[in-house]
Structure 1
């Protein structure tokens, strides 16, 4: 009996040892498997999350793209891509500006913009090289034109207008001003109407504008460009024919000022003139933008030329910049240079003085002094308050004029 049990014990012992040994190895394997499973599970979770993010982004992008497409593209049922593209562009343009409004403005304003040339034949040509636009200034037939029209003495000037049934008439030269690239001519016996002018001092940067020209005197062949105001109150120092320095104020716009709009008008979205387009000043001073003489400046020039054939305007004769002193709480026009024998020089002002006000009008912009002086006449007396070092002083100044010819 005992002998028979020994093999069983021995066998049982072997089985137990084998189990223990295998059990040890199995636990080791299970541990490794569990570790790998955790790693694989982590990777799987990461990949699942990544896939979810990608799918969510794709769905979002698809929805946004579809929404944009629905907003910007007009789908053509016939599947015509060219038609679809055309409609899409028209939809975009319509949302950017009102083309019908621009057409209405052009049709109205172009009647007050005439064609100007040095020969009758130029109006029948196709080149812009020998034609300009002119702006009717009043019902008496006075027209503001670019200086280049009358640059050569004795050269005839012809006018053509839609309001005159396209008739070509010779004009009389009234006066000219090389420095501001302007001149005034006159035709009589024609029913001309000036456009509506706006106060250019109210113009703001980024305001929508349109440049209009009618160099052939035919609205069907006129020009309109659209843009915004880029810069206001840009001071331009320029020379008269006898090399005297004066300054004029201009605006800049990204509306194209070229030969087609040269001498024409810049209007706001109410169809009111805020400036006169100058291709010459654009080439000389603008740095890539269209230069426009402000409507206030242009009307002042036109009045002077109409009244005397030359421009005699009150002129302060100071050059400088606007400054603000926060420590002493004042703003003023800092004088860097004074024109000899000018108004400021005769009144005793000198470089480094700071003009604080004129006739009680505080200096708030770089153009305050010049704009105010232009409302006066030569010979008028104004009171100038200024700062010299730390002292505030006042002086009376008699306005002297400068002839711009």
Structure 2
């Protein structure tokens, strides 16, 4: 079972748009999910990668190609040129994973990369990078090599892919360190499209290009993506977003849902913001995040 968890190495050119945030040399794990050489991982590991290598249980590195990165779920898929001689891991049912269940968190490295954990909670997760899961899986204790790690249930089936180290709020106790996993059930309806077409048939969501934080129900802009829609519209770090399309927002998840509810990528997103002591109205022409992060050849002079 653990042989299906492999190491992924990605080299990203320094001119790539994600390089400053995610780095140019990335390493994590992935899970062999079929006999054709497809490997499931967390997408940020392979975003804008120029070179991809997969190291199997025999320690040998093989070249791989990026197949898809689904920004809605966060899943990434790559394919090795020559299928690895390992048994693919069967997909389980993340809907059956409950709070308190024992699980195995497995990064590359066989038994040395695996550790036992428990599911601490199943709840909504809103990421600062315009990302939302209705019901993520949170586990503890945390695994240090969480990126692309396999979350395995008691039947030895894959029920999630590792995404983050995070603090998990516990009622009456404060917060404890743990990991967030993307549930595998999000993959099943889109897997064949991702493999065959590199994307789903769903229209791309409108993307603004902001990082945001929530405090007492208010949304603060913490970063504006260079050359992104929000920067072009004049949004700045420190702005407080008050409304979307004249409708008040009650938190980060609500902010995203109101944006996505306006239509597909390219739709205009009217925002009311507080900058200093002035309220301003800004219209952001949204974009398709996938196209923004499409790696382009470096111009030669």
- TM tier relative to shorter chain: 0.5 to 0.7
Provide the residue aligned with 2:162 in structure 1: 277
Q: Deviations over 1:180-226 (max 9, x none)?
A: 44311101332343212221111121111110111xxx426x41221
Q: Are residue 199 (structure 1) and residue 83 (structure 2) matched?
A: no
Q: 1:219 aligns with which of 90, 93, 110?
A: 110
Give the 3-state SS of the residue equivalent to 1:310 in structure 2.
Answer: coil
Provide the residue aligned with 1:158 in structure 2: 53
Question: Structure 2, unaligned stretches of length 5 or more?
Answer: 12-24, 170-174, 207-253, 265-287, 291-301
Query: CA separation in 1, counterparts of 2:72 and 2:205?
Result: 17
Q: Deviations over 1:265-320 (max 9, x none)?
A: 111222122211113xx348886321011111134454442132124448999xxx
Q: Are residue 171 (structure 1) and residue 46 (structure 2) matched?
A: no
Query: CA separation in 2, counterparts of 1:304 and 1:285?
Result: 33
Query: CA separation in 2, counterparts of 1:135 and 1:270?
Result: 16
* 1:117–1:130 Cα contact (<8 Å) kept: yes
* 1:276–1:298 Cα contact (<8 Å) kept: no
Q: CA deviation at 1:238?
A: 4.2
The higher radius of gyration belongs to 1
Q: CA deviation at 1:404?
A: 7.3
Q: CA deviation at 1:228?
A: 1.2
Question: After superposition, where does 1:199-348 map in structure 2 within 5 Å?
Answer: 199-214=93-108, 218-219=109-110, 222-232=112-122, 234-238=123-127, 246-259=132-145, 261-279=146-164, 282-283=165-166, 288-300=177-189, 302-313=191-202, 339-341=260-262
Provide the residue aligned with 2:37 in structure 1: 141
**Cα RMSD (Å) of the superposition?**
3.4
TM-score (norm 2): 0.56
Give the 3-state SS of the residue equivalent to 1:148 in structure 2.
Answer: helix
Q: CA deviation at 1:239?
A: 7.1
Residues 404 and 228 (structure 1), Cα distance of their counterparts in 2 relative to 1, 3 Å cut = farther
* 2:73–2:133 Cα contact (<8 Å) kept: no
Specify which structure has the higher proportion of strand. Answer: 2
Aligned residues: 198
Question: Structure 1, unaligned stretches of length 5 or more?
Answer: 1-108, 120-128, 318-335, 344-402
Q: CA deviation at 1:179?
A: 5.1
Residues 294 and 231 (structure 1), Cα distance of their counterparts in 2 relative to 1, 3 Å cut = same
TM-score (norm 1): 0.43
Q: 2:81 aligns with which of 162, 185, 188?
A: 188
Higher relative contact order (CA 8 A, sep 6+): 2
Provide the residue aligned with 2:251 in structure 1: none
* 2:41–2:77 Cα contact (<8 Å) kept: yes
